[in-house]
Structure 1
């Protein structure tokens, strides 16, 4: 079970850091997507920070279970909000990746709780 937790944690950390990097570079794709979703540019720093904190918390959670569960809950809320944002504006192409990441975050909660 712990091996599964490590695999999902590494996957989520890689995705989160890649996404935070793209947001910090303000790539055209990201700025267009955030504009479509109605996310103000000033909120980008907060989103980047949340992703980095989630990645750090997920990694720390491999050693400290409560931190891992707290990080996974935060990530679940973050990605559920992303799903809601995509659906709110009718972005049916952008919602599925956010759904997958929401489910992966829920898996982190379950796996970390099972390995305490």
Structure 2
């Protein structure tokens, strides 16, 4: 389970860093999804910082599992909220990406708990 958690944590961390950088640079694919769900532009930086914190927590969690579990749980809530925003805005075409991140976050959480 440790190897599986490590692989999922690294992949999810890299994906979160990528999406954080996209938000900070205001890259079109990231911003169009946020704007479609009526997320204010003033939230872009705090949301990017949450992505980076989750990524750091997952990576540190490889060595100190409680932090990895907490980071994965936080990312489950983060991406669950993102999915909720897409549902509320009826932006179903924008749901695959946060949905994939949500599933990976749940997987990281389950594997982190199982690998304890």
- In 2, the alpha carbon distance for the partners of 1:100 and 1:90 equals 18
* Structure 1 residues 45 and 91: alpha-carbon distance in aligned structure 2, compared to 1, 3 A threshold: same
How much has 1:6 moved relative to structure 2?
Answer: 1.1
Q: Report Cα offsets for 1:22-47 as digits up to 9, x if no partner.
A: 11111233333222111111111110
How much has 1:85 moved relative to structure 2?
Answer: 0.8
Q: Give yes or no for the alignment of 1:49 onto 2:49.
A: yes
Task: Identify which range, 87-96 or 62-71, moves more after superposition.
Answer: 87-96
* Structure 1 residues 113 and 20: alpha-carbon distance in aligned structure 2, compared to 1, 3 A threshold: same
Does the residue aligned with 2:92 lie in a helix, a strand or coil? Answer: coil
- In 1, the alpha carbon distance for the partners of 2:112 and 2:31 equals 34
Runs (5+) with no aligned partner, structure 2: none
Q: Report Cα offsets for 1:79-110 as digits up to 9, x if no partner.
A: 00011111111111111221221111111111
TM-score, scaled to structure 1: 0.94
**Correspondence for 1:67:** 67
Moved over 2 A (4+): 28-33
**Correspondence for 1:99:** 99
Q: Give yes or no for the alignment of 1:4 onto 2:8.
A: no
